[in-house]
Copies of this chain bind each other. A is one copy, B any other.
Amino acid sequence: MVNGEFLSQLAAVVDDKTMVAGADIGAAHSVDTSGEYPCLPELLLRPGSTEELSAIIKLCGTHQQPYVVQGGMTGVSGGATPNPGEVAISLMRLRGIEEIDENAFTVTARAGTPLEEIQQAVAVKGLSFPLDIGARGSCTVGGIAATNAGGNQVIRYGVARNLILGLEVVLADGTVLTSLTKVLKNNTGYDLKQLFIGSEGTLGVITRVVLRLVPQCETFTTFCAVNSFSDVLQLFRLSNQYFSGAVSAFEVMWQDYMAAVLAAGEDLTSPFAEQYPFYVLLEIDVERPDGAMEWFENGLAQALEQELIQDAVIAKTDSEREKLWRIREGIGEVVAQMGLAVHCDVAVDASGLEAYVTEVERNIGEQFPDNQLLVFGHLGDGNLHITVSANSEAEKTALYNIIFSSAARHGGMISGEHGLGSLKRDYLSYTRTEAEVQWMRKLKQLFDPNNCLNPHRVLG
């Protein structure tokens, strides 16, 4: 139950458009894309400015009223799904690009601005924001910063953390911490923004971001058929040798993933007549387009000669490229039809990857031979998505244990990009030490002593 005195004082600091209660709150605010454990909040606050948000948060602190911060609701770890008794604060009214600086190569935007809006606005000016994820149309830059999103082009351009130059953040006590700098290099005291990037909104609420842009490159895309996981890894090595730093995406899909995606997506087709154990979507970003297609083709010809790939198609147009990417991003519909399942996104470095995958496949195959296992992901940066159907909550726990304990054994991490949110927070200690977890708790205590700000996310 939301505190009555809190409610009456709230009315004094927010305007009409900000407060939504009861039946007027849409179901979209009850759960993130995971669909797990939906809970409709009693009260939804949609502040229209940083100042209004600050006043709301300060009041929440005073009344020890817990709240969950929401953006595009595209997370999959339950971070934005309300817990009972929490007020939901949506940042979707804090929307809009404030400045594109073509000289400084930056864009400044409010937290609720969708990623795709940014991508399109900067492309018009010949620039690129080189972070891309399947949820681009709905996810927001605030969410991208708070969750340190990764996505499809990390090998070349890095994760969100590498592309964020400035932040404005509202702290749990209402303080607005502003550092909207556009400089690439800043060693002027502690880099506080790093604390808010990737901490999933548990240390502060991000309200504005300054993002780094890069000059546009020409992209070349191929979809390859591969016979074994060992060949996939060899192909990655060859790509790095031949294309060097030009490799921008190296995505892998297992045959079971391919079959499931093609079955679920109405208008998806495989580029190949035959089936293969593995598929790789490889892209390079090229500064010098002149002669680049020939270079790309020659690189693939080498891979064919070495029998690392069995077949390959090259996208000749933007729409052909899009079609190939839709296979890689088709998992959404599969998941929607899947029901109970675990969705993991472990990160294991390239040296440990083959042994890791072998172990996980064997252990799941032995203990849960009838469950559907789908593996795909950003092999180029060691971030694999592993989805396994489950028949009960107990099975889910057992599956998490198999997948995460193997990650620990092979020097990996339990999450490369999705974060822990509510759904995976209890597994934090699998790949972080006791001392690390203890210091995380101390930071949480320092920044949010009342434990009102996205409580029980990341840390249990």
Residue positions of A touching B, CB distance < 8 A: 101, 103-106, 126, 147-148, 150, 154-155, 158-159, 161-162, 171, 175-179, 181-192, 194-195, 197-199, 203, 214-217, 233, 237, 240-241, 243-246, 285-288, 290-292, 295, 347-352, 378, 381-383, 411-420, 428, 431-433, 435-437, 439-440, 442-443, 446, 458-459
Contacts and interface: CB of A to CB of B under 8 A. Distances in A.
A421 to B, nearest CB: 10
A104 B158 contact: no
Contacts of A176: 435
Given A187-B147, A433-B179, A105 B415 contact: no
Given A185-B383, A347-B185, A350-B104, A288 B285 contact: no
12 contacts: A103-B350, A103-B351, A155-B184, A183-B382, A184-B382, A185-B417, A186-B413, A187-B418, A187-B419, A189-B440, A244-B288, A442-B446
B183 A412 contact: yes
Given A194-B195, A216-B244, A150 B189 contact: no
A190 B413 contact: no
Given A285-B245, A290-B295, A432 B188 contact: yes
A350 B185 contact: no
B436 A179 contact: yes
Contacts of A437: 189
Given A103-B351, A189-B436, A442-B446, 9 more contacts: A175-B435, A177-B435, A179-B436, A183-B348, A185-B413, A189-B420, A215-B245, A243-B287, A288-B288
Ordered nearest first, which 5 A-B pairs have the shortest CB separation?
A194-B194, A185-B416, A104-B349, A182-B349, A244-B287
Contact of A246 (B101, B288, B348, B446): B288
A347 B184 contact: yes
B217 A347 contact: no
Question: Taking the full assembly, how many copies of this chain does it contain?
Answer: 2
Contacts of A416: 183-187
B104 A179 contact: no
Of listed A155, A215, A237, residue having the most chain B CB within 10 A: A215
B436 A192 contact: yes
A432 B158 contact: no
Of listed A147, A177, A187, A431, residue having the most chain B CB within 10 A: A187
Given A287-B243, A433-B177, A189 B459 contact: yes
Contacts of A233: 103
B382 A185 contact: yes
A154 B184 contact: yes
A432 B185 contact: no
A195 B198 contact: no
Given A243-B287, A245-B215, A442-B446, A101 B351 contact: yes
Of listed A178, A188, A215, A245, residue having the most chain B CB within 10 A: A188
A233 B105 CA distance: 13
A459 B352 CA distance: 42
Contacts of A186: 347, 413, 415-416
Contact of A187 (B203, B350, B417): B417
A292 to B, nearest CB: 7
B188 A428 contact: yes
Contacts of A101: 349, 351
Nearest to A431: B188
Contacts of A290: 291, 295
Contacts of A349: 101, 103-104, 106, 181-184
Contacts of A351: 101, 103-104, 182
